[in-house]
A and B are shown apart, each in its own frame.
Chain A
Amino acid sequence: MTKIVLADDEADVLDSTSMVLRMKGYRVTPVQDSTQILSTLKRVRPRVLLQDVYMPGLKLDNLVRAIRREPALRALQILIFTASANAEDACRRVGADGFVKKPFDADTIKSTLERFIIERRGR
């Protein structure tokens, strides 16, 4: 079962997205406090981090750099989870692997995520 860490400060988004992803067969660990992201990643060792762009106390580029420095998290796929107008730019700016736009289509989210997971495996 593929593990996903989902980080978002909005409780409704966090709860509902976690639920959708669980229904799609993922094991989801939700994180609402940005200071807990890195430690959760180290503990859970997920395949994917689905990361909200704007969280209180979060500097996304710093987080991405810290993750990339962590040998244990080498296989981690960082996807930004954003309602922003230009997700592509945000993704490039922080050096993430991809993005999932808010709102996402719950019917196709699994195929979107699998595409990223397969891509990473192929590297």
Chain B
Amino acid sequence: MGRSHRRRVLRPAGRAPKKAPEGGAARKRLVRPGLDSAGDRFGWSSLLSAIVKESGDVWLLLDDAGRVTSAIGHGPGLDPTTWIGRPLADVVGTTQGTDLADLRRRVRKSGVPAQMDLKALGAAPKDATVRVRLSPLRGPLGERGTLAMVRDVTRLTLLERSEAEIQNLSDKLARRVLDLARANRELETFSYAVSHELRTPLTVIENYAHILLKGGIGSLDEPSARALRAIRSAVHRMADLIENILRLSRVTRLPVRRQRFDLAEMARSILSELREEDAGRRVTAVVPNRLWVEADPQIIQVALINLLTNAWNFTKKKRRARIEVGQTSQTRTPTYYVRDNGVGFDMKDASRLFQLFERLHPDAEYRGSGIGLATVGRAIERHDGAVWAKAVPGRGATFYFTLGPAPGPSAPTGVRAEQKGGRR
């Protein structure tokens, strides 16, 4: 049934009867009424010719020897009228003529349509890929032929290839994400190992050094005591170093979860801890009542601890030490600062401030781990914010930072509250 329809429809232009010899009943079953009446009105031949031309495909009828007997449609740069009598491989202009002949034989034998994609070298544009689809035909008197559709699939092939490439890249990316997750887990294990495996023996060293120094085991001569004090001092430095490395690793690793919190309250609590640890110091702290921000409190706390500890340490020789936390009113983006009147630094070193293991103070008294400000930089960077500093040697330093965009409807409230707090 399908075959009779196809045969009728695809008879080469000019030779097809205007009406199908088998009568209208079969055709009506096969063709949708709209197309059916159009065929009756305009003539099947011209209608099909128009449809085929619009499709951009080329349709060829091949005789049993595989030569073109008729052709309709046009492809890019193709003129089907010159093809009559030539083998299909010539028409397509491919070197894969044998493959094409094999395909035709297979279709003829099996009676099942099949297709293949070929590089077209001849009439088609350079590097075009054409898809040749062959369907078997059998005429009313038993004559055999093949219907060939030639479609330019260059763009489709490129598209398929880029889809495959995208898939490939996305697979690679997925693998990379897994690798990263594994590396992160390893880093966490490493952090834990660093903290636990190094700190536990340090506890024992610190304890026994203290016990020995205090005469808990026996009396010591002065050189032994001096050696023990050096051991303890090294233990404290190492403990600080481990603490700083862990903070940096936390700031790098933790996901940023923004929420609204009071930066002023956080600063007050850190300053009061610093006071407790260093009760002999007299430091004036100036902190506004409220300083609402939208940021990750855990990460910002690490940054603020580092900034305030620095301010605390670098003012230790000032008779009237002063540490100030606040918000500047000069910029549109809320900008916060931590200011001290300590030793300051030379602005020519400013670019090195936030780099890991950079130390600006050669003076052993102010010698830090070189991790603290790198951690501050990382914490602010994780918030898409900026951090910078201004200083005058001997007169103090101010560290400024922004906290990036604060998304969500609560942001304007936060900003207003900050300004209110800042003015007080």
Contacts and interface: CB of A to CB of B under 8 A. Distances in A.
B211 A20 contact: yes
B196 interface: yes
Nearest to B243: A101
Contacts of B196: 54, 83-84
Contacts of B204: 12-13, 16
Given A23-B216, A107-B210, A86 B200 contact: no
A86 B250 contact: yes
Given A13-B200, A19-B216, A102-B200, A85 B192 contact: yes
B153 interface: no
Nearest to A107: B210
Given A85-B192, A103-B206, A23 B250 contact: no
Nearest to B199: A83
B195 A83 contact: yes
Contacts of A85: 191-192, 195, 246, 249-250
A102 B239 CA distance: 9
A12 B202 CA distance: 11
Interface in A73-123: 83-86, 101-108
Given A102-B199, A102-B202, A103-B199, A17 B207 contact: yes
Interface string A17-55: 101100100000000000000000000000000000010
B306 to A, nearest CB: 16
Interface in B224-272: 235-236, 239, 246, 249-250
A107 B214 CA distance: 10
| Chain A residues touching B, range | 20 to 34
A54 B192 CA distance: 12
B203 interface: yes
B337 interface: no
Given A83-B195, A85-B195, A85-B250, A16 B200 contact: no
Contacts of B210: 20, 106-107
Contact of B208 (A16, A104, A108): A16
Contact of B236 (A10, A83, A86, A105): A105
B207 A20 contact: yes
A84 B216 contact: no
Contacts of A20: 207, 210-211
Q: How would you classify the secondary structure of chain A's contact residues: helix, strand, loop or mixed?
A: loop
A16 B195 contact: no
Interface string B177-200: 000000000000001100110011
Q: Which of A54, A102, A103 has the most CB of B within 10 A?
A: A103
Contact of B203 (A19, A84, A86, A103): A103
A12 B206 CA distance: 11
A12 B207 CA distance: 10
Nearest to B205: A103
Contacts of B236: 105
A17 B203 contact: yes
Contacts of B211: 16, 19-20, 23, 106
A13 B202 CA distance: 9
Q: Which of B206, B207, B210, B235 has the most CB of A within 10 A?
A: B207
Nearest to A22: B216
B203 A104 contact: yes
A12 B200 CA distance: 9
A53 B244 CA distance: 21
Interface in B57-87: none
Contacts of A102: 199-200, 202-203
Contact of A103 (B191, B214, B239, B250): B239
A64 to B, nearest CB: 21
B235 A103 contact: yes
Given A16-B204, A102-B202, A84 B214 contact: no
Nearest to B207: A16
A7 to B, nearest CB: 14
A32 B192 CA distance: 22
27 contacts: A10-B200, A13-B200, A13-B203, A13-B207, A16-B204, A16-B208, A16-B211, A17-B207, A19-B216, A20-B210, A20-B211, A23-B214, A83-B199, A83-B200, A83-B203, A84-B192, A85-B195, A85-B246, A102-B199, A102-B203, A103-B199, A103-B202, A103-B205, A103-B207, A103-B235, A103-B239, A104-B203
- 7 closest pairs, A vs B, by CB? A16-B207, A106-B210, A83-B199, A103-B203, A103-B202, A102-B203, A103-B206
Given A86-B250, A105-B206, 10 more contacts: A12-B204, A13-B203, A16-B204, A19-B216, A20-B210, A83-B203, A103-B199, A103-B205, A105-B236, A106-B211
